[in-house]
Amino acid sequence: MKTMRPLTVLFCAGCLSFAALPVSGADFFVDPENGTADGDGSAANPWQSLQQVLDDGLIESREWDSLPANEAQGLIPRNPGAPVRAGDTILLASGDYGALVLQGFYNEDYITIAAAEGAQPRFSAILVQAGERWILRGLHVSPSFADPYEPVTMIDIESHNWQGDVADIIVEDCTLFSVDDASAWTMTDWDTLSVDGISADGSLVVIRNNILRNVNFGISVTAENAAVEGNLIENFAGDGLRGLGDRSVFAYNTVKNCYAVNANHDDGFQSWSNGDGGVGTGQVNGIVLRGNTIINYEDENQPFRGTLQGIGCFDGMFVDWVVENNVIITDHWHGITLSGAVNCRVVNNTVIDLNDVDPGPPWIRVAEHKDGRMPENCIVRNNLTTALNNAAEGVVEDHNLLIEDPTALFVDPAAHDLHLLETAAAVDAGSSDGAPALDRDRIERPRGNGVDIGAYEWHDAEAQPVDDTDLTVDDTDTTDDDDWAVDPADDDPGCGCAVTAKPAASLLSLLTSF
């Protein structure tokens, strides 16, 4: 029942940190079909209910000495001597597990809840509230697995002002959808039945290699020091990604196919600041947007097709951001926009128009804050784009190339393949100053006499991707920034337009209301 895991070395933008995943641990088993209420969690005699394992005290952990949570009080043992302990894995067989609540478990090391090999455990929703060091792996989550259908966030990672903060949560290789097939949905269905995918606050949250389909907002992160990596968000009615917490990395995600079904101005990625004076009066610090692909739509006949703002950040200040190697294919003016920026680098991105009609063509724009403050010490370099619209001061703009004839630059722009042709004018035409060492495909650059302009470096068939582990995050910041929260029912601060609010019922309140 023992498994061995190696020490994993994790890197962050601008710093090096080490995170040791569990070195060894026992495996336990849950099977809704073949398990029993009095099982012992072994493969031969599995438990029947995962929620029962939690509620019956079968997991050894820690909890606050008293509530409301207060760090000065410290943590005390919870369920000492229970069979499942730090470093262990709970493997789930196929079947229905209902709505899961993990509340108040502060594990000393990671405890993993994972699909057994070849299994598809199904949850209607998952709430991780006030706890730390949980891994959720290979789970299927959808409100369509429940009757009645409840429009709640599918995976909600939540700090709580009474129960305590949440930290060190990993969600990976999971599949989430409002419904499996939304092709017959009307505009009203999209507006009322699509639900949010993953919402995360707290700190040190990792969300990677998940598939989200037919959702409202895809992945929304207010957590600090978060890593959002390698996720697919396909068919969405709100924003694909939101990043509102400091020092977080969004890397190699794909966001595509926007459905415009209400007054929300949809973004592939959106951020805004919030301070004492409200939206736009604070700072969002140290965000990295690297190697993401954002596509407004793949099918021009898609119903309810919207015009998608690619990377839309309208209420800074945005401080110390890195925006590099992103591919933006959209039908809007805002390809990449930072309104209110200090010490930001927008380098080696590719931004292209989906068609020749308004709105568009999309631009790269680093500009003044809405209150008139000009950008400071920003760089826009090595970008391949249909337009530039930067502020007249505070922005260094060089080695960018405007797209006039996509067919002279890209392998197959009609099919959204924006790899460079060997003969493209962008090849070897960029600056090495501040250019990322890898391209969108993680191919080392430069490959020729100079750095190529845009997200892709032209290369021959012999070039191979490099393992880029510069994604995970660090908790060394000691600034005394005020914490703040965003109400998802508020007007969309990204564009100042009204949002059609959806039911925002708490999973915990739903479970405790019966």
pLDDT at 462: 85
Question: What pLDDT does 56 receive?
Answer: 95
Residue 19, Cα to own-chain centre: how many angstroms? 20
Query: What is the structure's pLDDT at 356?
Result: 85
pLDDT values of the chain reduced to their tens digit, one per residue, 514 residues: 333 333 333 334 333 233 444 446 999 999 999 999 899 999 999 999 999 999 999 999 999 999 999 888 899 999 999 999 999 999 999 999 999 999 999 999 999 999 999 999 999 999 999 999 999 999 999 999 999 999 999 999 999 999 999 999 999 999 999 999 999 999 999 999 999 999 999 999 999 999 999 999 999 999 999 999 999 999 999 999 999 999 999 999 999 999 999 999 899 999 999 999 999 999 999 999 999 999 999 999 999 999 999 999 999 999 999 999 999 999 999 999 999 999 999 999 999 999 988 899 999 999 999 999 999 999 999 999 999 999 999 999 999 999 999 999 999 999 999 999 999 999 999 999 999 999 999 999 999 999 999 999 999 888 899 986 544 433 334 333 333 233 333 334 344 332 333 333 444 444 433 2
Please state the three-class secondary structure of 12-72 as a single string.
Answer: ECCEEEEECCCCEEEEEEECCCCCECCCCCCCCCCECCHHHHHHCCCECEEEECCCCCCCC
Residue 240, pLDDT score: 98
What's the whole-model pTM score? Answer: 0.88
Asked whether the beta carbons of 400 and 453 are under 8 A apart, the reply is yes
Phi, psi of 461 (to 5 degrees): -70, -15
CA-CA distance, 136 to 9, in Å (whole number)? 20
User: Tokens at residue 330, please?
Assistant: 């959209």
pLDDT for 483 equals 33
State residue 404's pLDDT score: 95
CA distances for 119 relative to 115, 127, 205, 232, 447, angstroms = 6, 21, 25, 21, 43
Which uninterrupted H or E stretch holds 511? Answer: helix 507-511
Q: In sequence order, what are the residues at sequence separation of 6 or more whose Cβ sits closer than 8 angstroms to the Cβ of residue 151?
A: 143, 192, 193, 195, 502, 503, 505
Exposed e or buried b for every residue in 285-300, given b needs 16+ CB within 10 A?
A: bbbbbbbbbbbbbeee
- In this prediction, residue 73 carries a pLDDT of 85
Tokens 């707290």 appear where?
A: 202
